[in-house]
């Protein structure tokens, strides 16, 4: 405890309240506490309850490799390079772990361990089932409106002379057409993405959304309504995607499949005596000589249980008798009690399991939840939530009605849904696994006891060894004087952080961050470099974004691409400038406008000789003949009334009674 000046004067004994939540012995330690068990029992995974001998001792419980029953039920796991079979016990060699399973791109192991090959975007799987062949997008269905060049895994659009590429990198428009980028201001009114075209702007949406009828707004696609999801139990729609969850009584295995939860493994499921796990639920039972109370959890001695009274059809007292019912209870006067109360004086709350007017409504709370005697509102036990206590706690929450956040950080973000304590690696305990096992204990949850032949040889004093002082952070060392390091550190004096891709207590956890990101040596989280994002920093910034956390918007015009790290524009042939906004100066062409035309004027992209709009001939000496316009007079006028058009722009010279670019709109409309 600490005084108002924040000077800590003594340790608080957590064991003094409810035995610290321990089912057997509670051991107070400096700043925390520890549950211990008799020699014939071992501490369960919750760190509170003592369980019996390991089931894995009997023929490894049928597991081919690793058997783990610390949660109360047997869980089989496989060694590195193997995958668990469909029976949950056998192990097949993961062929993807060797030479990528023979796959050229992506290898995914099947349930039987055999590899399944797939390819990156822009490629298709070859006939041999392992190699990847480039898809020629230009040959199958060109995405470009003029010229298309196939590249490895993608394609590039090009334009004809006197045309330039629009911001969508696919559409070409004439350099002589005044094109206003409709997306420059207010994103063109689009909710998500905006593309400027000759016809105006076109809106599109991010994956997981669809364009609404107004052509501007993006609406979330509810994948849970159809068969787009792969959830075994329940599908919860979230903006732009979906999330799988399990019915109460189950836990999520791989983000999709559900497995029965053994509620009895944590504090006996709240049962006073015996707990029996069932598929998706559990039930309490009592030992001989006891019977289950109305709360379905407590046990009463049979001699103390209220005896059943004979039924009677008679009623004492003066009428009238509203809402008269025949009950299996002694005759009594029926009065108009307020909802939620009963008894001769209307001063007793409804009995457990009932509520409301006349206490004649049954509670519908599940999983050990109790209801309010007036409203029927459910109060959920620890680890359960929902209106009827039908849901398990969402990720990151624990406790009654799942109202409390799990402590952060926990190794692997694993938090017990009942206690909220982190699930610690061997040798550590405490709310955040930062405390080393007390003297004389070791292993998972410090549940194993040291067996030493000589006194005090299992661990030396925290501050001294062989009468010499430890030179360690916090003064913690073992009997040889070697330091016991805090999470994230290693070395003789714990001065060095964990090696690359290692983190946590004793540097025992292995992680990996991609694309130059470094892993935090204490928590294991990745800090992404500019140009990447995601939990492991594996994903490049989406097209049009760059920088730290991909939060910066690219501003490259005319099909220029943006460097995802720096945001610098890379211009296509024929363009230059900081934002690729300038056409090559007269007499130059190509990438960066660094090449000179053999004969001017020339196309800024290809360098081929080309007359400007309105001129033709060997030396561009002739004006366009009537009915022709554009570069080299290559285009035909399209005037509805046969009128001539401007030799440069193609705009028609309309008769007096007609209007519009093509003279199709009568004057006066």
pLDDT, mean over the chain = 75
pLDDT at 60: 82
- Average pLDDT rounded to a whole number, residues 346-372: 80
Predicted confidence (pLDDT) at residue 315 exceeds the cutoff of 70: no
pLDDT at 125: 92
Same fold, 223-260 and 261-302: yes
Name the residue with higher pLDDT: 363 or 183: 363
Where does the pLDDT of residue 319 fall: very low under 50, low under 70, confident under 90, or very high at 90 and above? Answer: very low
Residue 249's region, left for phi above 0, alpha for psi from -120 to 50, else beta, is left
- Average pLDDT rounded to a whole number, residues 209-220: 89
Q: For 617-665, what is each residue's pLDDT tens digit? A: 877 788 898 888 877 787 888 887 677 888 877 778 887 777 766 677 7
pLDDT at 469: 53
Can you name the CATH fold of 261-302? Laminin (2.10.25)
Where does the pLDDT of residue 263 fall: very low under 50, low under 70, confident under 90, or very high at 90 and above? Answer: confident
Bridge-based pairing of strands 234-238 and 241-245 is antiparallel
Main-chain phi, psi angles of 250, to 5 degrees: -130, 160
The percent of residues above 90 in pLDDT, for the chain, comes to 1
pLDDT at 468: 47
Predicted confidence (pLDDT) at residue 91 exceeds the cutoff of 80: yes
pLDDT at 459: 38
Q: How far apart are CA 366 and CA 386, in angstroms?
A: 10
Q: How far apart are CA 44 and CA 268, in angstroms?
A: 11
- Average pLDDT rounded to a whole number, residues 60-86: 79
pLDDT at 123: 86
Q: Is the peptide bond before 215 cis (omega within 30 degrees of 0)?
A: no
Predicted confidence (pLDDT) at residue 4 exceeds the cutoff of 50: no
Main-chain phi, psi angles of 137, to 5 degrees: -60, -30
- Average pLDDT rounded to a whole number, residues 112-123: 83
- Average pLDDT rounded to a whole number, residues 230-238: 82
Give the distance between the most distant pair of CA atoms in the chain. 122
- Average pLDDT rounded to a whole number, residues 362-390: 79
pLDDT at 333: 36
Predicted confidence (pLDDT) at residue 238 exceeds the cutoff of 80: no
Question: How is 460-488 classified by DSSP, letter by letter?
Answer: --SSEETTEE--SGGG-B-TTS-B-PPTT
The percent of residues above 70 in pLDDT, for the chain, comes to 73
Where does the pLDDT of residue 49 fall: very low under 50, low under 70, confident under 90, or very high at 90 and above? Answer: confident
Main-chain phi, psi angles of 16, to 5 degrees: -75, -15
Predicted confidence (pLDDT) at residue 434 exceeds the cutoff of 70: no
Q: How far apart are CA 639 and CA 655, in angstroms?
A: 10
With beta carbons less than 8 A apart as the criterion, state whether 367 and 248 touch: yes
Can you name the CATH fold of 223-260? Laminin (2.10.25)
Predicted confidence (pLDDT) at residue 543 exceeds the cutoff of 50: yes
With beta carbons less than 8 A apart as the criterion, state whether 367 and 390 touch: yes
Predicted confidence (pLDDT) at residue 237 exceeds the cutoff of 70: yes
Q: Which residues pair with 196 in a beta bridge?
A: 201
Predicted confidence (pLDDT) at residue 133 exceeds the cutoff of 60: yes
pLDDT at 470: 57
Predicted confidence (pLDDT) at residue 467 exceeds the cutoff of 50: no
Q: Is 557 helix (H, G, I), strand (E, B) or coil?
A: coil
How far, in Å, are 262, 273, 276, 281, 419 from residue 266 at the CA level?
8, 13, 12, 13, 9
Residues 6+ apart with CB under 8 A from 419: 21, 46, 47, 48, 382, 398
pLDDT at 431: 60
Q: For 9-24, what is each residue's pLDDT tens digit? A: 456 777 887 788 888 8
pLDDT at 322: 40
Among 37-46, 148-157, 236-245, 445-454, name the one with the lowest average pLDDT: 445-454
Residue 524's region, left for phi above 0, alpha for psi from -120 to 50, else beta, is left
Domain boundaries, the chain: 223-260, 261-302
Q: For 580-594, what is each residue's pLDDT tens digit? A: 878 888 888 889 899
Predicted confidence (pLDDT) at residue 305 exceeds the cutoff of 50: no
How far, in Å, are 270, 326, 438, 449 from residue 33 at the CA level?
22, 54, 9, 16
Predicted confidence (pLDDT) at residue 439 exceeds the cutoff of 80: no
| Range picked from 329-333, 480-484, 495-499, 505-509 for highest mean pLDDT | 495-499
Q: pTM here?
A: 0.28
| Range picked from 76-85, 425-434, 579-588 for highest mean pLDDT | 579-588
In terms of C-beta density within 10 A (0-12 exposed, 13-18 middle, 19 or more buried), how is residue 549 classed? Answer: exposed
């Amino acid at each position: 405890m600490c005084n108002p000046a924040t000077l800590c004067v003594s340790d608080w004994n957590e064991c003094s309240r409810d035995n610290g939540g321990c089912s057997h012995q509670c051991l107070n330690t400096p700043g925390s506490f520890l549950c211990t068990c008799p020699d014939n029992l071992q501490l369960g995974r919750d760190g509170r309850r003592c369980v019996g001998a390991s089931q894995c001792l009997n023929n490894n419980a049928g597991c081919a490799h690793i058997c783990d029953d610390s949660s109360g039920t047997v869980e089989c796991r496989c060694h590195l390079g193997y995958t668990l079979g469909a029976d949950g016990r056998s192990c097949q060699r993961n062929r993807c772990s060797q030479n990528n399973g023979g796959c050229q791109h992506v290898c995914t192991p099947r349930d039987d361990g055999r590899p399944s090959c797939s390819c990156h975007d822009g490629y298709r799987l070859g006939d041999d089932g392992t190699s990847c062949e480039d898809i020629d997008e230009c040959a199958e269905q060109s995405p470009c409106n003029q010229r298309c060049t196939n590249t490895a895994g993608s394609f590039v659009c090009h334009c004809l002379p006197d045309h330039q590429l629009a911001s969508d990198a696919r559409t070409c428009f004439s350099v002589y057409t005044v094109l206003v980028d409709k997306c420059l201001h207010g994103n063109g009114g689009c909710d998500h993405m905006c593309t400027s075209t000759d016809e105006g702007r076109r809106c599109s949406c991010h994956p997981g959304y669809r364009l609404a009828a107004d052509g501007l707004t993006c609406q979330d696609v509810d994948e849970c309504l159809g068969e787009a999801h792969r959830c075994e139990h329940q599908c919860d729609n979230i903006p732009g995607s979906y999330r799988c969850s399990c019915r109460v009584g189950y836990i999520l295995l791989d983000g999709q499949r559900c497995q029965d939860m053994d509620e009895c493994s944590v504090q006996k499921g709240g049962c006073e005596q015996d707990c029996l796990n069932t598929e998706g639920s559990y039930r309490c039972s009592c030992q001989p000589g006891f019977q289950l109370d109305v709360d379905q959890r407590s046990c009463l001695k049979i001699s103390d249980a209220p005896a059943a009274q004979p039924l009677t059809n008679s009623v004492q007292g003066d009428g009238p008798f509203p809402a008269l019912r025949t009950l299996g209870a002694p005759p009594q006067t029926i009065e108009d009690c307020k909802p939620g109360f009963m008894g001769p004086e209307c001063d007793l709350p409804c009995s457990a399991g009932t509520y409301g007017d006349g206490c004649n409504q049954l509670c519908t709370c599940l999983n050990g939840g109790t209801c309010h005697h007036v409203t029927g509102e459910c109060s959920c036990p620890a680890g359960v939530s929902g209106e009827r206590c039908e849901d398990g706690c969402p990720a990151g929450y624990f406790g009654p009605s799942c109202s409390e956040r799990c402590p952060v950080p926990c190794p692997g973000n694993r938090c017990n849904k009942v206690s909220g304590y982190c699930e610690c690696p061997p040798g550590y305990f405490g709310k955040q696994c930062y405390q080393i096992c007390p003297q004389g204990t070791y292993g998972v949850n410090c549940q194993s006891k040291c067996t030493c032949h000589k006194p005090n040889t299992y661990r030396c004093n925290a501050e001294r060894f062989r009468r010499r002082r430890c030179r360690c952070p916090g003064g913690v060392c073992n009997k040889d004087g070697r330091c016991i390091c805090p999470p994230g550190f290693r070395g003789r004096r714990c001065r060095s952080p964990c090696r690359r891709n290692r983190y946590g207590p004793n540097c025992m956890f292995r992680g990996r961050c991609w694309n130059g990101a470094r892993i935090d040596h204490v928590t294991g989280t990745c800090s992404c470099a500019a140009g990447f994002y995601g939990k492991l920093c594996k994903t490049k910034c989406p097209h049009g974004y760059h920088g730290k956390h991909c939060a910066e918007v690219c501003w490259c015009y005319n099909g220029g691409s943006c460097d995802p790290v720096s945001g610098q524009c890379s211009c296509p042939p024929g363009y230059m400038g900081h934002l690729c906004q300038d056409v090559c100066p007269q007499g130059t062409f190509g990438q960066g406008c660094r090449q000179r035309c053999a004969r001017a004027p020339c196309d800024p992209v290809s360098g081929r000789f080309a007359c400007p709009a309105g001129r033709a001939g060997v030396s561009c000496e002739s004006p366009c003949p009537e009915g022709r316009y554009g570069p080299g007079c290559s285009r035909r006028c399209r005037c509805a009334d046969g009128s001539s058009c401007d030799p440069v722009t193609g705009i028609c010279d309309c008769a007096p009674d007609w209007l519009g670019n093509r003279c199709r709109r009568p004057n006066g409309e």
